Structure 1
Amino acid sequence: MPQGIQVMDQRLISTSAVRCVGNTLILQGRVYSPPYKISAVGDPGALKKALAASPALQNYQLYVNAYGLGWKVDEHKALTLPGYSGTVDLHYAKPVAPTP
């Protein structure tokens, strides 16, 4: 089954830089404010299990209940994420040829 994740309107890849500054999100040079939308494609059972098992999300749920913060999970039968549109060039890492 194909897998992928999108935060706000950007597809994430292995080199995506996601930074939190206060309650703002900086993702690949763009700044976002809450509410945040995260879309994931994968095995629905495994995704639900991962959310339920996350200590960070369990902690967040306490704040959701105590202060009325936003939290909603929607399940869709079909979801298509856009392809990654940024550069994939590495600026600081250089590949090294394997030694025989």
Structure 2
Amino acid sequence: MVRDWLVLESHKRWHEERLPIVEDRIRIRLDDLSVRLGDAEWLDGAFSAGDLLMVQVLRRLDGADILNDYPNLMAYVARGEARSAFKRAFDAQLAVFKAGHGS
């Protein structure tokens, strides 16, 4: 999904030049997050709303393969997705999206 907005801009002459710059910036953020998380289970001790939000953000990288370079973040996302709180929040968000799109 990271590339979604870039796909929309793929006809622009600067597209090919811009993609590596965007990916480098994403990697800088992921490097910081990976170090911050370390080998901890959650960002601030116990599972929190912050983890719900961060897992959702990281899920946007699905399909870009960039997260494969961060095993601790991949495991973090998997732990988050397995939580019932995440499932409830995701289902609620999906219901709102579907209602707004007539699905």
Both proteins in one fold, TM over 0.5: no
Higher helix residue share: 2
Higher strand residue share: 1
TM-score for both structures, normalised by structure 1: 0.29
Please identify the structure whose Cα radius of gyration is greater. Answer: 1
TM-score for both structures, normalised by structure 2: 0.28
